[in-house]
Amino acid sequence: MDDATFWGLISKLNWKYEGNDEKVVAPVVKALAALPEAEIAEFQNALTLKLYAIDGRAWARESGETVWWGEPDSLSEDGFLYSRCAVVANGPEFFDSVLGDCKQMPKDIEFEALLYVAPTAFERKTGRDGDEVRDKAGVSYETYSNKACWQHGT
C-alpha cells in the first residue's frame, strides 16, 4: 500500500466522536473491509512500519509523565505504543514532524484503537481471526523493537 492510500484511509478517522474510539475508527474499518484481503494486510504493514520508525528513546522521553518516568528507560511500554498510535492518527504532516523532531511528540496522548483497525476490518471481511494480518511487516511495532533507536545515548 502506498503512502497516499494509507494516509487517505487515516484521514477517514472521524474525530467528531472523540472520546468514543470505536466510532472514531469506524469509517476506516468500513473502508478497509471493502478492500481485498491483501490490502488490509498492507495497511497493517504500513502502520507497523510507521510505529516502528518512531520507536526509540528520544521519542519516549518526550511522551509525557504518564509514559516516561526517567532513566534508565522507565516507561509504560504500552503507553508509549499508544502514544505512537496517536502520532500516526494525526496524519502525515504531524507524523513527519514528530519523526524529524522528537520534541514534537505529543504529551500524555494515546490512541490504542488504531491498532485494531486492520484486524477488525479483516474479521469483518473474512470471518477469520484478525490476528492473521499482524506481524507481516518484517518488524514489530512493540516498544523496544527498533533496537537502533534504543541504543544508549539516542
Mean pLDDT of all residues in 50-60: 96
| Angstrom distance (rounded) from CA 11 to CA 5 | 10
pLDDT the model gives residue 137: 73
Burial class of residue 145 (count of CB atoms within 10 Å of its CB; 0-12, 13-18, 19+): middle
pLDDT the model gives residue 106: 96
How many C-beta neighbours within 10 Å does residue 69 have? 10
The pLDDT tens digits for 70-79 are 888 899 999 9
Range of the domain at 71: 3-150
Please tell me the pTM assigned to this model. Answer: 0.95
Total number of domains in the chain: 1
pLDDT band at 134, cuts 50/70/90? confident
How many C-beta neighbours within 10 Å does residue 23 have? 14
| Angstrom distance (rounded) from CA 103 to CA 30 | 34
